[in-house]
Structure 1
C-alpha cells in the first residue's frame, strides 16, 4: 500500500504565522496556486480512498485537486489550540505568560484551556493509522495539516512522539509512505518546485 500525504495549501493563518487548529480559514491566493501546482503531480495517481480532515482549508485543497468522493475524519484535524487559537507565539507569550511557560516546560502534555495536548493529538492520529493499516490495501491519499503529518512521521518511526520537531512540513508538501511485508517506511518527502 502507498499512503500519500499532503498538507493543505497556504491559509490566511499561515501568512500571519499564528496557531490555528479548530478555527476555519480559507486558502490564500498563494495557497490556491500551490494546490494547482501540486495537482499536476497527483493527476496520474488513482486513489482507492481519499481521507480529509474536517477543516475547510483541507476540504478546499481536496476540491481544487479535483476530488469529490472523500471521507472526512476528525482524527486528521490539526491540534485544537483552545485559548491560543488565532494568536502568534509572541501574542501568546504576552497575553498568557504563565500558560506559555507551562507549555514550554511540558510541550507534550500541556493542554491549553479548551484545547488539546500534543499527546492527545498523538493518540487520535496513531488510532487513525492503526485503522488504516488494518483496513486499506490500495493507494490512499490523506489531506491534512502540518501537525498531523509530523505525527504520522513519528508513527512511522515506531510511534516515537519525541521526534515531532525533527521534521519540517510546508504548505503542499507531499510525502509517500509505503507499507510492504508488514513494514512501514517513509519513501519520500517532496517540496513544491522552486522551494528549498
Structure 2
C-alpha cells in the first residue's frame, strides 16, 4: 500500500505536541459506487469482498495508537466502521451525522449521463456549485462548514473516522486551498490530519 506525503512533518512538531490526529477513511465500496451512481445520503449494499479490501487499509495503521472510532450515520459507513473496530480492538463506535455525505437531492441514484440528460448540467463533480441550482442539494459552503464543525468536536488523541468521498474532498480542498479534482479518494483511502493550532494534512494513504 503506497503512502504519499502531502505536508512533510517538517513543521518540526513533535508528535507529543499534536492535540488531535484524525484518520479519515472512505467507506467500503458499494453497489452504487460500482455502477457509478451518485450516492449522497442515499445508501446501497457493500459489495462482496469490499470490506476485506477496506480492512487491508485499516491494518496499515493499526499500530498507530488509535483509541476511538467515529462514523457518519449512513449505513455503509457504520458497517465499515464496525469491521474496522474489530481490527483495532475497539468496543465502541461513535456516530456523528455531521460526517454524512453531501446531500445531493434529486441527483442521488443517477449516473452522470442521466444527470446531464435530465438536468442539463455539464460539469459534474462533488464540489460543483452548478448542481446547487437543483432543489434540495446542500450548498458546498454549508457542507464544508458542517464537516469542519464535526472535526472540531472530535476528542484529543488519535481518532479513526469512517466517512465518505465528499467529506474527504471537502477537507482536502479546504486545507490545500484549491479546487483540486485530480486527487481521487477511492474506497478505503485514508486522509491523515493533524491539529495543533490549526488543521494540517499529514499524508494520504492509498
Q: TM-score range by the shorter chain?
A: 0.7 to 0.9
In the alignment, which residue of structure 2 is the partner of 1:190?
Answer: 205
Q: Which structure 2 residues correspond to residues 101-140 of structure 1 after superposition, within 5 A?
A: 107-108=128-129, 110-132=132-154, 136-140=155-159
In the alignment, which residue of structure 1 is the partner of 2:9?
Answer: none
- Cα deviation for residue 13 of structure 1 reads 0.7
In the alignment, which residue of structure 1 is the partner of 2:170?
Answer: 151
Match of 1:62 among 81, 98, 115: 81
- Cα deviation for residue 166 of structure 1 reads 4.9
In the alignment, which residue of structure 1 is the partner of 2:59?
Answer: 40
Distance in 2 between residues matched to 1:119 and 1:2, nearest whole Å? 24
Matched, 1:168 2:184: yes
Contact 2:82/2:93 (8 A) holds in 1:
no
In the alignment, which residue of structure 2 is the partner of 1:13?
Answer: 32
Q: Which structure 2 residues correspond to residues 19-98 of structure 1 after superposition, within 5 A?
A: 19-65=38-84, 66=86, 67-97=90-120
Distance in 2 between residues matched to 1:39 and 1:122, nearest whole Å? 25
Distance in 1 between residues matched to 2:163 and 2:133, nearest whole Å? 21
In the alignment, which residue of structure 2 is the partner of 1:194?
Answer: none
- Cα deviation for residue 43 of structure 1 reads 2.9
Q: How many residues matched?
A: 181
Q: Secondary structure at the match of 1:143?
A: strand
Contact 1:151/1:164 (8 A) holds in 2:
no
1:183–1:28 distance in 2 versus 1, CA, 3 Å: same
RCO greater where, 1 or 2, for CA within 8 Å and sep 6 or more? 2
User: CA RMSD of the aligned region, Å?
Assistant: 2.3
Distance in 2 between residues matched to 1:102 and 1:167, nearest whole Å? 17
TM-score of the superposition, structure 1-length normalised? 0.81
Q: Secondary structure at the match of 1:17?
A: coil
1:42–1:111 distance in 2 versus 1, CA, 3 Å: farther
- Cα deviation for residue 123 of structure 1 reads 1.8
1:60-115, Cα deviation, whole Å (9 max, x unpaired):
11111125411111111111111111001100111222xx26979x9337253233
